A and B are shown apart, each in its own frame.
Chain A
Amino acid sequence: QKEVEQDPGPLSVPEGAIVSLNCTYSNSAFQYFMWYRQYSRKGPELLMYTYSSGNKEDGRFTAQVDKSSKYISLFIRDSQPSDSATYLCAMNRLTQGGSEKLVFGKGTKLTVNP
């Protein structure tokens, strides 16, 4: 079983729709949970960052973490064509050597149609 599972999509929605993106994970050692947005041929851009169960809101984006179910979500309200990108969930844990490692989901490709 992979440490982090994310449905790659693709996901296509009309402009203004509410988008729900999800990841599940198997390792209880994950401490921090992030969502990155990656446009084609660019590096990932951090959208949201949280370390506790519950919701965190930032503008049109809401990140949700449920540690008991090992499930995280990103909601995008009033989606815009400019939101069209690949969304990567990422989780942070310590390695056996004591260094930190970021484990990524495969990414979900989102297209918002005008």
Chain B
Amino acid sequence: GAVVSQHPSRVICKSGTSVKIECRSLDFQATTMFWYRQFPKQSLMLMATSNEGSKATYEQGVEKDKFLINHASLTLSTLTVTSAHPEDSSFYICSGKYGGGGGIQYFGAGTRLSVL
């Protein structure tokens, strides 16, 4: 299967700082990348969909000014959590879509963010 690399895997930061998470598709071009958030013992919740070269589409209730998404190339998308607070602590996972309609999503290993 296709490989998506996500970095860092773990980050601990102080409240008020910003954190950037990178998501790279290593062996395919991902025209669409997705960012999810997962709370303990819960399923994945879609935060936003990003298409290469255009603005991200955010799900209802997700603050676009807090979660900045950039999809500058077909293999790289970044999520920046700005002015992070303890309630932003969570497991963030990205995925890249392989193929056209009905394309499969391949997921990164996730980033565990802890805001102190």
Contacts and interface: CB of A to CB of B under 8 A. Distances in A.
A103 B6 CA distance: 21
A100 B43 contact: no
B105 A43 contact: no
Interface stretch (B11-19, B67-75, B79-87, B96-104): B96-104
- Interface size range on B against A: 20 to 34
Interface residues of A, number: 24
Interface in A71-114: 88, 92, 97, 99-102, 104-107
* Interface residues of chain B: helix, strand, loop or mixed (majority): strand
B49 A104 contact: no
B93 A102 contact: no
A42 B109 contact: yes
Contacts of B112: 41
Contacts of A44: 44, 93, 107
A99 B57 contact: yes
9 contacts: A34-B104, A36-B107, A41-B91, A45-B107, A46-B1, A46-B104, A88-B44, A101-B46, A102-B105
